[in-house]
A = this chain, B = another copy of it.
Amino acid sequence: MNFTFSEDQEIFRDAFKKYLESNVTPEKIRSGWEDNMPFNQARWQELEELGILQSNLDEKYGGLGLDLVTTCLLVEEMGYYALPEPAAEQIFLSNLLINKSIDIAELIEEKNQFIGVTHSLSPNILFLDNSSKIINLEEDSISIVSSKDINGKKLKSSDPSRDLTNFISENSDSGSLKTLNDQKSLVNNVVTSGMVMSAAILVGLSRKILDLATAYTLDRKQFGKPVGSFQAVKHMLAQAAIEIEFSKATLYRAAYSLDNDNPLQKLHAAQAKLQAIDACEMASRNSMQAHGAMGYTWEMDLHIFIRRGWSYKQVWGNKSLLENYIMNQLEKDLPKLGSTYTFL
């Protein structure tokens, strides 16, 4: 039992953080919004060069073959900096599919290009124009479509970093490149992975949202004192800090269970996502309140992060779905869960 990160994991994470710090600033995100091009092709290129995009891809496909706990840490930082490019999706959805299915791997030649993945829990296609292929997951089948062959209608997300397309139909001439049947277990695996991914993004976002608030309340004065010296403001941010703290270990266990194919991985993933949603809601609400009227303006950076939270709490498992799933599992398996079964 060693529930700490290895030095390697921390070094990789910190190096990536450094990259994000200077390359994914609020100014750069805003300029992507203004140009209506949130997906920055140059940055995607850099992410590839840094090995981020292939971090968990099998070595036989030219990847680094890293485990999902390490990549979970990377995704948490993508959340922290609100990276617009779908690197998290590439790692936790498409790479996972490639690693686990030779049929899919064969079809994907250029593994550094973005491959969108859709499912009823995340039905709208993310960055269709920037993706080479789309993998569509049904309950027990998987079909791969060339992104050129998709007819869709652009949708406007409340997060301008998300370029979404409504999947209307496949181009009738070409159809799917391939459809795989009897894929229930793989689909389930991707859904679990999507839960962990979105949880990691939410945890990263929550940390950032809290950091913005503490910085703001140190600066800003009211009635002659920094806003942050009022006990009410302290306590609302302390409460957010508590929620965030207790979302972390749950997230890392989920990533570990996913990586180790633990039979309880989906339960762990659902718990992680739910805890992360709670943390992000609390952080968003209280941070906004601590900012006063300024937080509510477009010019402050706060909303860049809060918006992403609104989206990621809903895709790949929202509150109702997660709660219902957990309650069903508990009802079925309670005697085999609990304190003596925290780790299998």
Contact = CB atoms under 8 A, between A and B. Distances in A.
Contacts of A220: none
> Which secondary structure characterizes the binding site on chain A?
helix
A235 B235 CA distance: 11
A158 interface: no
A242 to B, nearest CB: 15
Contacts of A235: 232
A344 to B, nearest CB: 34
Interface residues on A, range: under 10
A232 B235 CA distance: 8
A235 B230 CA distance: 12
Interface string A213-250: 00000000000000000111001000000000000000
Contacts of A232: 231-232, 235
A83 to B, nearest CB: 37
A239 to B, nearest CB: 11
Nearest to A235: B232
A247 to B, nearest CB: 24
Interface in A26-47: none
Interface of A: 230-232, 235
